[in-house]
């Protein structure tokens, strides 16, 4: 062995930690969505319109990548398993987002966060059931720690279980978590088969088209009558909360796998809590602080223990 060569085990650990960093960046960027949505809704825009603007501003980037990126060739696209890709595209950023917004009509945001982040557990269970993936001890410990943090952070306020259609809202949020879990579980093999950039660009393009068709079916094609701030927030959602995190998440999944990625993504709601405090000036309680620390401990534990 050359004296200056890097041992394989160290290279593997460094790659895993690179994947951890990418997933955390993606989770933090995705968590900005809630902030931008709140800012957008303040201008009288509903959730479906906000989702449409997010996708509309992201559309040129994915089209540009498909057309001009050297990473995507005609061979990649021809070999794409289109039925699987279409299904995953509809699950990931169309149906999961749609169910989430539908559920938010009936439940409080803090209850929504608590329900939606059962998806890491669903990813682990689906992976073990469908693909016989073993749940490692570090993964189990990280799940326990991070879920404890989420529970503590989310129960700092009382849930209104007496509101109308609370059961329907919980059902929709659970469907959102389930569809997103399926998206993550089935992404692994497709990413390896057609490549990171090809998978991400095509699956996102499918989701964007579905959202635009849905909006057009309900509201028509006139999208130029909102306050100018709405378009600014829509642009920021399209780039910061969509383009950047979809690529960092996909790259991270290719390195550390969907199960580890799902666990690390629990950093998302904590990032939302912190940004809500600093940007929207919402209250930050002691229990939220304790929950934040626990989630960070769980994320750090998984990152330092490697693949487990």
Q: What is the pLDDT of residues 198-240, one digit of tens each?
A: 888 888 899 999 999 999 999 888 888 899 999 999 999 999 9
- Contact yes or no for 53/62 (Cβ under 8 A): no
Q: What is the pLDDT of residue 25?
A: 93
Q: What is the pLDDT of residues 121-148, one digit of tens each?
A: 788 788 888 877 787 888 788 788 877 8
pTM: 0.75
State the sign of the Cα–Cα–Cα–Cα dihedral 38, 288, 112, 252: positive
Please list the pLDDT of the chain residue by residue as tens digits (308 residues): 444 444 444 456 778 889 889 999 998 898 787 788 778 878 888 878 888 999 999 999 999 988 888 877 766 667 678 888 898 889 888 999 888 877 777 776 656 666 777 777 788 788 888 877 787 888 788 788 877 877 776 665 555 555 567 778 778 888 998 998 898 888 878 888 888 888 888 888 999 999 999 999 998 888 888 999 999 999 999 999 999 998 898 889 888 887 788 778 777 777 777 777 788 776 667 777 787 788 777 766 766 565 54
CA distance 275 to 27: 13
In DSSP notation, 179-226 reads: HHHHHHHHHHHHHHHH-HHHHHHHHHHHHHHHHHHHHHHHH-S----S
What interhelical angle do 8-41 and 267-278 show, nearest 10?
A: 50
Q: Where are the domains of the chain?
A: 27-305
């Amino acid at each position: 062995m050359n004296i200056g060569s890097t041992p394989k085990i160290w290279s593997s650990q460094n790659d895993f930690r690179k994947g951890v960093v990418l997933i955390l960046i993606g989770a933090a960027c995705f968590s900005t969505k809630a902030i931008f949505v709140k800012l957008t809704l303040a201008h009288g825009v509903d959730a479906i319109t906000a989702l449409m603007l997010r996708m509309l501003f992201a559309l040129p980037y994915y089209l540009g990548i498909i057309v001009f990126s050297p990473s995507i060739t005609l061979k990649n696209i021809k070999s794409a398993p289109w039925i699987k890709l279409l299904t995953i595209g509809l699950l990931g950023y169309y149906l999961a987002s749609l169910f989430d917004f539908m559920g938010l009509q009936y439940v409080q945001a803090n209850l929504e966060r608590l329900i939606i982040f059962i998806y890491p557990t669903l990813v682990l269970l689906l992976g073990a059931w469908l693909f016989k993936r073993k749940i490692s001890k570090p993964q189990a410990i990280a799940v326990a720690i991070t879920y404890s943090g989420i529970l503590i952070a989310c129960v700092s306020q009382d849930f209104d279980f007496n509101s109308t259609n609370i059961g329907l809202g919980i059902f929709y949020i659970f469907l959102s978590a389930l569809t997103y879990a399926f998206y993550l579980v089935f992404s692994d093999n497709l990413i390896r088969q057609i490549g990171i950039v090809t998978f991400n660009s095509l699956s996102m393009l499918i989701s964007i088209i579905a959202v635009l068709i849905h909006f057009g079916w309900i509201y028509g094609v006139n999208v130029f009558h909102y306050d100018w701030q709405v378009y600014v927030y829509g642009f920021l959602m399209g780039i910061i909360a969509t383009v950047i995190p979809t690529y960092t998440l996909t790259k991270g999944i290719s390195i550390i796998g969907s199960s580890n990625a799902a666990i690390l993504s629990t950093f998302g709601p904590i990032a939302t809590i912190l940004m809500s405090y600093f940007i929207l000036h919402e209250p930050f309680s002691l229990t939220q602080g304790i929950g934040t620390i626990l989630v960070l401990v769980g994320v750090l534990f998984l990152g330092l223990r490697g693949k487990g």
